[in-house]
Chain A
Amino acid sequence: MQAFTVVTGLAAPLDRANVDTDQIIPKQFLKSIKRIGFGVNLFDEWRYLDEGYNGQDCSKRPLNMDFVLNKPRYQGAQVLLARQNFGCGSSREHAPWALDEYGFRAIIASSFADIFFNNCFKNGVLPVILTEDEVDVLFKECEATEGYQLTVDLEQQQVIRPNSETFSFSVDSFRRHCLLNGLDDIGLTLQDADFIHAFEKQAKVARPWVFQALR
């Protein structure tokens, strides 16, 4: 996994609440058996005027120029501003894969859906929770200022605005540690293999039916 320490980049405002993962990456693109190739279909139904299908050459598709991410001033954005309950709905990890591949390294919102939030951390994308008022300030500044850049510092747990003022956020220490160091958490868990074996040993006595063979 790619590590995340500090990212400074252009911010883009997606002013909608309850953005669901079907919107972030529509289902027809979930048929891929790979982890890559989703970036061009991020927000597909909002971003393009035609209907997207798998394996299409997206460079030739008509863009919806009313969609915020298509505006020239937000090209190359790395920080996505969003509203409450971002990432609700399906558990598809294709959503953070698509956001990451598009170029977003951090998403700032007042709340996230649980599964999506978790999936982001597994992919080096940092979801940042600020208060609704703070998010509002960022939206206003971002919309008012062309080339508005934010710095997201995971080490310090701060979002730094262009005027150097900061908003703090918190991240639980395990996730922060993994993300700062780009750690594969399967490897970490396997270091606790003895605990897992010990657990299984007692569980097989307490609840043997759970461990029945399936054939």
Chain B
Amino acid sequence: MTAKTLYDKLWDDHLVKQRDDGSCLIYIDRQLLHEVTSPQAFDGLKLAQRKPWRLDANIATPDHNVPTDKAERALGISGISDETSRIQVQTLDDNCREFGVVEFDIFDERQGIVHVVGPEQGLTLPGMTVVCGDSHTATHGAFACLAHGIGTSEVEHVLATQCLVQKKSKNMLINVNGLLGDGVTAKDVVLAIIGKIGTAGGTGYAIEFGGQVFRDMSMEGRMTVCNMAIEAGARVGMVAVDNNTIEYFRGKPFAPKAEMWDAAVAYWQTLTSDADAVFDAVIDMDGSVIEPQVSWGTSPEMVLPVNAQLPALATAKDAVQRNSWERAYQYMGLNPETPITDIKLDRVFIGSCTNSRIEDLRAAAAVIKGRKVASTIKQAMVVAGSGLVKKQAEVEGLDKLFTDAGFEWREPGCSMCLAMNADKLLSGEHCASTSNRNFEGRQGNGGRTHLVSPAMAAAAAIAGHFVDVRGF
């Protein structure tokens, strides 16, 4: 038998049919639905008078548009002041009711960002194929899932057929070995990877993250890394199953129980790349030299260690890159060769499917404990990834640490990660954000995003500018 990568195994276990033209039908175990990319898919089903193929494969929750303000939230859907947002969230409710899809609605304490909710509930399980009309579906690869984002037509396709038409990607292994330094987190690792291979470095590949750094990493950290595989151009990012993976699911509400659990574990333990499996591309990095990272431009690949200076235009590798840097400097209102620690901030956002899990909140809380947000910061907010993360943080008293320091403690949702709801930057404002995209306008028209880890965001909130969280 030929040696297989993890990706090969997941692919083979879900292959329904290989067609003569090389395209493949791949079976989808789980589809996550949210309000933004599903309405047109449900509409398409209705128009064609089709029914969902397997209802229990689907689970829905509203996240992108929901208000994070406590008073608004208490009113449920009617508390959403923007009419189009309200209609969109209402439409998800209506569609789920009409078709019979299980939904964690706005009042459900399990509601949250789909990518936080799926694993938290055990709705995402190792070895599953997981899709969602959202590019950060790669997050679920942390559990050795074959998970990726799809467009709305494909959401409809999966609802109707439980399959996707796919072509197999190539295999890439990103090995990060060594020990991470204190204060260096999963977010820094993935930003450093994107800084190295670029935002198109993984295009056409399924990435497996291997090496000591990922073995040592918590499941939350692995989710952070896989979440941003898409920012490296890869639809899929994965980490092989180990004991941490299995323990994570023990006792989760929708995880298998009793004998079914044992059978599942036996299968899950096979979900690693064979020792002699061959990858189409291998990248090796030394984890011990990775420093806390800060993005300075308008693409996640424009990222540097916190103690660096912004690059001189003359160091661009070609005309296209120079052009992008020039535009980025203009948009960001920054100049070449400025030290990153000189960048002053207006707002701080801790949240998003990249960094809104309990471990992220703990890391940020540890930094701010007993300190105060700088007076120059207009707003610092913490938005938990789900109702249950929020509850857990409150049990641990983290909310108190945040509010004492001057942070706002918000209701769960996507919030200022993409500013579809009321949480957004004003033009020209700089934000330290634990989210995943620093694109122009992403957090509000004219807003300037800097991607960092939760600990770095917390330190920046206290200092009013970026600082090295190590020794802060």
B439-452 CB mask vs A (1 if < 8 Å, else 0) is: 11110011000000
B161 CB contacts on chain A under 8 angstroms = 186, 189-190, 193, 196
Cβ–Cβ contact B48 & A186, under 8 A: yes
B46 CB contacts on chain A under 8 angstroms = none
- Residues of B12-50 whose CB lies within 8 A of A: 13, 16-17, 19, 21-23, 25, 27, 29-30, 36-37, 39-40, 43, 48, 50
Contact of B153 among A123, A196, A203 (CB under 8 A): A123
What interface size band does chain B fall in?
Answer: 35 or more
CB of B274 closer than 8 Å to a CB of A: no
Cβ–Cβ contact A93 & B437, under 8 A: no
A18 CB contacts on chain B under 8 angstroms = 199-200, 299, 324
**Cα-based distance from A185 to B150 in the complex (angstroms):** 15
Cβ–Cβ contact A208 & B441, under 8 A: no
B21 CB contacts on chain A under 8 angstroms = 172-174, 177
Contact of B323 among A16, A28, A118 (CB under 8 A): A16
Cβ–Cβ contact A196 & B439, under 8 A: no
Cβ–Cβ contact A118 & B200, under 8 A: no
CB of B163 closer than 8 Å to a CB of A: yes
CB of B165 closer than 8 Å to a CB of A: yes
Contact of A31 among B56, B65, B323 (CB under 8 A): B65
A209 CB contacts on chain B under 8 angstroms = 125, 255-256, 260-261, 263-264
Cβ–Cβ contact B324 & A115, under 8 A: no
- Residues of B162-178 whose CB lies within 8 A of A: 162-163, 165, 167
Cβ–Cβ contact A189 & B25, under 8 A: yes
Which residue of A has the minimal Cβ distance to B169? A114
CB of B420 closer than 8 Å to a CB of A: yes
**Cα-based distance from A51 to B123 in the complex (angstroms):** 39
Contact of B16 among A17, A28, A55, A196 (CB under 8 A): A196
B203 CB contacts on chain A under 8 angstroms = 85, 111, 113-114
Cβ–Cβ contact B165 & A22, under 8 A: no
Min distance, Cβ A119 to any Cβ of chain B, angstroms: 4
Q: A172-B22, A185-B157 are in contact. Are A91 and B82 (CB under 8 A)?
A: no
Cβ–Cβ contact A45 & B324, under 8 A: no
A200 CB contacts on chain B under 8 angstroms = 27, 54, 162
A119 CB contacts on chain B under 8 angstroms = 151, 153-154
Cβ–Cβ contact B82 & A172, under 8 A: no
- Residues of B306-354 whose CB lies within 8 A of A: 320-321, 323-324, 327
A186-215 CB mask vs B (1 if < 8 Å, else 0) is: 100110110110011001001111111111
Contact of B151 among A89, A118, A185 (CB under 8 A): A118
For the residues of B in contact with A, the DSSP-based class is: loop
CB of A137 closer than 8 Å to a CB of B: no
- Residues of B211-258 whose CB lies within 8 A of A: 230, 233-235, 254-256
Which residue of B has the minimal Cβ distance to A22? B439
Which residue of A has the minimal Cβ distance to B84? A31
B400-434 CB mask vs A (1 if < 8 Å, else 0) is: 00000000000000000011100000010000000
**Cα-based distance from A63 to B65 in the complex (angstroms):** 29
CB of B63 closer than 8 Å to a CB of A: no
Q: A15-B323, A16-B324 are in contact. Are A174 and B150 (CB under 8 A)?
A: no
CB of A9 closer than 8 Å to a CB of B: no
Which residue of B has the minimal Cβ distance to A198? B16
Cβ–Cβ contact A122 & B154, under 8 A: yes
**Cα-based distance from A28 to B82 in the complex (angstroms):** 11
Cβ–Cβ contact A89 & B439, under 8 A: yes
**Cα-based distance from A208 to B263 in the complex (angstroms):** 9
A91 CB contacts on chain B under 8 angstroms = 37, 133-135, 149-151
CB of B102 closer than 8 Å to a CB of A: yes
Min distance, Cβ B61 to any Cβ of chain A, angstroms: 13
Min distance, Cβ A112 to any Cβ of chain B, angstroms: 8
Total interface residues on A, CB under 8 Å, equals 65
Min distance, Cβ B268 to any Cβ of chain A, angstroms: 10
CB of B204 closer than 8 Å to a CB of A: yes
Cβ–Cβ contact A22 & B437, under 8 A: yes
CB of B293 closer than 8 Å to a CB of A: no
Min distance, Cβ B32 to any Cβ of chain A, angstroms: 12
**Cα-based distance from A173 to B106 in the complex (angstroms):** 44
B133 CB contacts on chain A under 8 angstroms = 91, 93
B148 CB contacts on chain A under 8 angstroms = 115
B87 CB contacts on chain A under 8 angstroms = 31, 33
Cβ–Cβ contact A45 & B84, under 8 A: no
* B residues whose Cβ falls under 8 Å from a Cβ of A: 13, 16-17, 19, 21-23, 25, 27, 29-30, 36-37, 39-40, 43, 48, 50, 53-54, 56, 59, 64-65, 82, 84-85, 87-88, 91, 102, 123, 125, 127-128, 133-135, 148-154, 156-157, 160-163, 165, 167, 199-200, 203-204, 230, 233-235, 254-256, 260-261, 263-264, 267, 299, 320-321, 323-324, 327, 418-420, 427, 437, 439-442, 445-446
7 CB contacts below 8 A, A to B, read A31-B82, A52-B445, A115-B148, A173-B22, A208-B260, A210-B29, A214-B59
* A residues whose Cβ falls under 8 Å from a Cβ of B: 15-18, 20, 22-23, 26-28, 30-35, 45, 51-52, 54-55, 83-85, 88-93, 96, 111, 113-115, 118-119, 122-123, 172-175, 177, 185-186, 189-190, 192-193, 195-196, 199-200, 203, 206-215
Q: A192-B16, A196-B163 are in contact. List 14 more A-B contacts (CB 8 A).
A: A17-B320, A18-B200, A31-B36, A33-B40, A45-B441, A118-B151, A118-B154, A123-B153, A173-B21, A189-B157, A193-B161, A199-B16, A207-B127, A210-B128
The 8 closest A-B pairs by CB, nearest first: A93-B151, A33-B39, A209-B256, A119-B151, A122-B153, A174-B23, A31-B84, A91-B149
